Structure 1
Amino acid sequence: MAMSPDPKVLKIQIGIELRRLRENAGHTAAEAAEALGGAVPKISKIENGKQAATPEEVEKLADLYGTPAKRRKYLANLAAQVPKRSRRRTMYRDAVPDWVQRFFALESEATEMKIYEVELITGLFQIEDYARATLLAWEPAADPRLVESHVKTRMERQAVLARTDPALDLHVVLSESALHRVQGSQDVMARQLNHLLEVSELPNVRLQVLPFDANRIAVTSSAALMHLSDQQLSTVYLEDFLGATYLWEPEEYTRYSVIFERLSNAALPVPKTRQLIARVLKKYR
């Protein structure tokens, strides 16, 4: 049975996109509020994901912002999926392809991210050829145009690394296996690890590798912890073969934060991480 998308994520995504549309169109929050016949605080709540916008309200704002028909319809459909009444807490999942856009919306606004990756270099650090190879490994018969579209999107996401308002504080722990799991070719891996060394020098990036010989560590799945200051929320993002799950309870975020801290403590310090990457890089040259 299909599971409903997370209503909290839907509200956040709609709010983020409506705010971008408003700012790109050059309208103030007061003008948006006037279009809805409401007050500025309502627009603030909608844009921060605190209050759901109805499909009708989305349509009115889209009219004001001059939003293209395709995007307008997409956002109105999202708004229609938000439950009118709160439900008892349950596990929500996002199915492909919408979960991709929801994750990107959260990632684009995150002020702090902690990521643990088991088998692959995390998407924000991937070069084009590595990204293409991972996509084709997942679906060898994929339409080349779709693959290139995904690669382009993955590269565009990396703009968050240079974002200053708000700046992103990114801490990544990679399993050493990600350095050895060949994607594409030896040449692709050489260029990918060289790029990894470059991004590890960014002032807002802390990159560590969890070595094979780390003791008392048995974490077998990847996870991303995200904090969005403007929305005053934190979530844990878990991805699997069927889609994505978001965990919102404070105790869940705390638990994953503790696990991530254990991984970070067991991982190599940043200087030794760079040394290990450089050593592995030599075998690909």
Structure 2
Amino acid sequence: MTSTEADGPSSTLPRRQLGRFLRDRREATGFTIAEAAKLVDLSRAVLQRIETGQIQKVQRQDVQALCEVYDVAVEETAMAIDLATRARAKNWHHIYGGLYDSAFTMYVGLEAAACRLSTYHEQHLPGLLQTADYARAIIRAFPQFTSSDVDRRIELRLKRQAVVTRKTKPVQMDVLLHVSALYRVIGSLRIMAAQLRHLAEMSKRPNIRLRIQPYSAGLTWGLPFGPFIIVDFDRTSKGEPVEPSIVFIEGGAAQDVYLEKPNDIRLYSELHAAIWDASLGEVESRNLLRQIAKEHERGER
């Protein structure tokens, strides 16, 4: 047994993500915790704590051994080992660059485990609610992507949408869109019209609440701000969160940012609530989606 307990404060995000990844891979191969632990010379209790993100100093050799037992691809094994290294750092900066270019991404793992996503978008529409044509138009705009890259990313994006549409415990979404995102033509007017009609239909689902922030709402709190996503997780029978909430800020061409401090979570939760209150109601927002879709359709003729 080589992995050891944490001896000081650290960010929980890398180790939570590492634990989630290892647990998913173990379950996919059909091993119990006891069986997997025995194969890599760990105790059942230690492996369980690794999977729940409770151990800071997860040893690289343990991650390597577990990935070999689970038959993990070389690229994803390297990423898991990188997470183990980051999980040991006490001063992790909550920032990731382009390390997660495959299906094993930091945010996708969080999204899949979430019970609620509270989002705000002003440039484009959220990936979980995009049509394939809209997604393709966005992804193809990146000059570095080959045709196969585009296809792979669209496939991943559409697979991610299962968290919204699944029958068992679909993720709850509180979606805020700035009205400018509805007029920004991504792909073509035809694609935009279909996308907005899709949004209108999706907003009727019981697990989705969608509101549009009009131009007349001005600047909430008098401040300019960009898109963000608050990721919340289930609670235990005692009412405690299974995992602490996270704020995700997509970096685009820069670095993605993950905020974990309670003050940051509270600030963005209050900001989301303020934008929500300054936005159109849900029925009015749905009607506006359909109205702008008709405008796009007329412009296409």
In structure 2, C-alpha distance between the alignment counterparts of 1:102 and 1:194, rounded to whole Å? 30
Which amino acid counterpart does residue 249 of structure 1 have in structure 2?
Answer: K
1:238 alignment counterpart: 249
In structure 2, C-alpha distance between the alignment counterparts of 1:165 and 1:46, rounded to whole Å? 27
Aligned-residue offset at 1:72? 3.0
Q: Secondary structure at the match of 1:30?
A: helix
Q: Secondary structure at the match of 1:279?
A: helix
Which amino acid counterpart does residue 95 of structure 2 have in structure 1?
Answer: R
- Percent identity between the two aligned chains: 28
Q: Establish whether residue 191 from structure 1 lines up as the match of residue 194 from structure 2.
A: yes
Distance change (3 Å), C-alpha of 1:210 and 1:197:
same
Question: Aligned residues, how many?
Answer: 276
Structure 1 length as normaliser, TM-score?
Answer: 0.88
Q: Establish whether residue 256 from structure 1 lines up as the match of residue 259 from structure 2.
A: no
Q: Is the 8 A contact 2:214 2:280 kept in 1?
A: yes
2:94 alignment counterpart: 92
1:207 alignment counterpart: 210
- Say which of 100, 106, 109 aligns to 1:102: 106
Query: Deviations for 1:8-37, whole angstroms, at most 9, x for unmatched residues?
Result: 332122111111111111111222232344
Q: Establish whether residue 8 from structure 1 lines up as the match of residue 4 from structure 2.
A: no
In structure 2, C-alpha distance between the alignment counterparts of 1:231 and 1:135, rounded to whole Å? 34
Q: Is the 8 A contact 2:79 2:100 kept in 1?
A: no
1:21 alignment counterpart: 25
Aligned-residue offset at 1:199? 1.1
Q: Is the 8 A contact 2:12 2:87 kept in 1?
A: no
Distance change (3 Å), C-alpha of 1:16 and 1:165:
farther
Which amino acid counterpart does residue 95 of structure 1 have in structure 2?
Answer: G
Query: Deviations for 1:32-73, whole angstroms, at most 9, x for unmatched residues?
Result: 232344443322321122224322111222233233444334
1:161 alignment counterpart: 164
Q: Secondary structure at the match of 1:225?
A: strand
Aligned-residue offset at 1:142? 3.3
Superposed counterparts of 1:114-129, under 5 Å: 114-129=118-133
Structure 2 length as normaliser, TM-score?
Answer: 0.84
In structure 1, C-alpha distance between the alignment counterparts of 2:23 and 2:169, rounded to whole Å? 15
Which amino acid counterpart does residue 104 of structure 1 have in structure 2?
Answer: V
1:273 alignment counterpart: 285
- Tell me which stretches of 4 or more aligned residues in structure 1 moved more than 4 Å: none
Structure 2 residue runs of 5 or longer lacking an equivalent are 1-9, 235-240
Structure 1 residue runs of 5 or longer lacking an equivalent are 1-5
In structure 1, C-alpha distance between the alignment counterparts of 2:216 and 2:175, rounded to whole Å? 19
Which amino acid counterpart does residue 148 of structure 2 have in structure 1?
Answer: R
Query: Deviations for 1:161-211, whole angstroms, at most 9, x for unmatched residues?
Result: 124555411111000011100001011001111111121112111111111
- Say which of 125, 148, 151 aligns to 1:148: 151
Q: Is the 8 A contact 2:123 2:180 kept in 1?
A: yes
Distance change (3 Å), C-alpha of 1:33 and 1:141:
closer
Q: Is the 8 A contact 1:214 1:267 kept in 2?
A: yes
Which amino acid counterpart does residue 21 of structure 1 have in structure 2?
Answer: R
RMSD after superposition: 2.2
